[in-house]
Amino acid sequence: MRTKSILLAAALTAAGVASSMAQSNVYSLNVVGYVNVTSGVGFSMIANPLDAGTNTIGNLIGNPPDGTLFYSWTGSAFNVATFAFGAWDNPNVSLAPGQGGFINTSSAFTNTFVGTVLQGNLTNHFGVGFTIASSQVPQSDTVDNLGLTAALGDGDLVYKWNFGNQAYDVFTLAFGSWSPSTPSINVGESVFLNSTAGGNWVRNFTVQ
């Protein structure tokens, strides 16, 4: 999966509305943007980096190539949705910010995610064992800077999908450090976590 760009600066739609209530001014600022995520031929791990309100694959991924498959993780197995003849057979599969899944397509395509940037104190809970997770905010960085490392414990693993090799790169956390290196997560990308105790991936995020 290759994330082309996030154009928040250009697509910052200011939904800032000022109104007067009693003797104080109340301001509401929603940051709306879009992210283009390109999936190549084969398997990619994708994520939805923006809140579209209705965060389902039917609403978010409306026109992939026929035969595209989406694999969501239940905690113990994959559920598979198929896009054929212009529609998903299971359009209500959830793909909210913080979640993720595999997409498998026979031809490359670019999907545009449109929605609101989540802000404030955000928590993404993951349980014991395997979980597919992603950043709840549209930001590419190391797992340290994204706050994921602080939520994991010694011996926990991050499985990052290597699109070119069509295989996982595996990263292990031990004594607060990552081996063989510190993984990064791109905008619009998800990863597999394998946690011995579960945890809460917490971000306090504000668009300045």
Higher pLDDT, 141 or 1: 141
User: What is the model's pLDDT at position 203?
Assistant: 97
Q: What is the pLDDT of residues 54-85, one digit of tens each?
A: 999 999 999 999 999 999 999 999 999 999 99
Question: How many Å apart are CA 45 and CA 106, to the nearest integer?
Answer: 15
What residue ranges do the domains of the chain occupy? 39-107+116-208
Closest CA to 134 of 122, 30, 67: 122
Q: Check: CB of residue 201 under 8 Å from CB of residue 124.
A: yes
Q: Check: CB of residue 201 under 8 Å from CB of residue 144.
A: no
Radius of gyration over every alpha carbon of the chain, rounded to an integer in angstroms: 18
Residues in the chain: 208
| Predicted confidence band of residue 208 (pLDDT cuts 50, 70, 90) | confident
Q: What is the pLDDT of residues 104-161, one digit of tens each?
A: 999 999 999 999 999 999 999 999 999 999 999 999 999 999 999 999 999 999 999 9
Residues in Cβ contact with 145 at an 8 Å cutoff, skipping those fewer than 6 apart: none
Question: Can you give the pTM of this predicted structure?
Answer: 0.86
Closest CA to 50 of 110, 8, 4: 8
Residue 14: C-alpha distances to residues 17, 34, 206 (Å): 8, 13, 14
Question: How many Å apart are CA 132 and CA 115, to the nearest integer?
Answer: 21
Q: Check: CB of residue 80 under 8 Å from CB of residue 43.
A: no
